[in-house]
Amino acid sequence: MKQLALALLATLSLCGAAQAHSVKKDAIEIIHPHINEPFAGARSAAAYMAISNEGETAIRLIGIDTAAAKVTSLHTTEHGSDGVARMQPIAGIDIPAGETVVLVPGGMHVMLMGLTAPLKEGDMVPATFLFEQMGPVEVEFMVDPTDGVDHSKMGH
């Protein structure tokens, strides 16, 4: 996972200032929170980012609120023995001290279900990240180019 985090961070460092962004509060840094542009008429979307904890104690992300969706939940992707990937809700994401946790397609991610308006590439979507130990952190998701996946058609 550490290699994946480093690869994501390296990729983000190649992006221009208009592409990569982050929010830092205390020991936590939320790196390039983004939503891949959903297809026109989509009812749901997925969001991704890296979360770095430079502190000395673990932090737990327990939720994300945004007016962009009726329901927002943390998810993970589990690959069954039948080869089918299934997305499952999770209660929280632990970010160990001194570590970076990466939310990516095919892994942990944020589901935004019941989109309240279309999301277009370049939009900035306000959200509040809820951490158990430190309270809320105000963030904006950047809407990036589509990932080619219609999350509305997946069983969540």
Q: Which of 25, 38, 47, 36 is nearest to 93 (CA)?
A: 47
The pLDDT of residue 10: 44
Taking residues 32-49, report their average pLDDT: 96
Q: Kindly report, residue by residue over 58-113, the tens digit of the pLDDT.
A: 999 999 999 999 999 999 999 889 988 899 999 999 999 999 999 999 999 999 99
Residue 25 burial (10 A CB sphere; 0-12, 13-18, 19+):
middle
Length of the chain: 156
Please report the pLDDT score of residue 16 as a whole number. 40
Residue 15's pLDDT is 45
**CB-CB neighbours of 75 under 10 Å:** 18
Alpha-helical (H) ranges within 17-94 are none
Mean pLDDT on 111-132? 97
| Residue 134: both structure tokens together | 């430190």
Per-residue pLDDT, 18: 46
pLDDT score of 149: 56
Q: If you average pLDDT over residues 124-146, what whole number do you get?
A: 95
**pLDDT for res 14:** 41
Label the pairing between strands 93-95 and 59-65.
antiparallel
Report the distance separating Cα 149 and Cα 126, nearest Å.
Answer: 23
Beta bridge partners of 30: 23, 51
Q: β-strand 135-144 against 28-36: which pairing, if any?
A: parallel
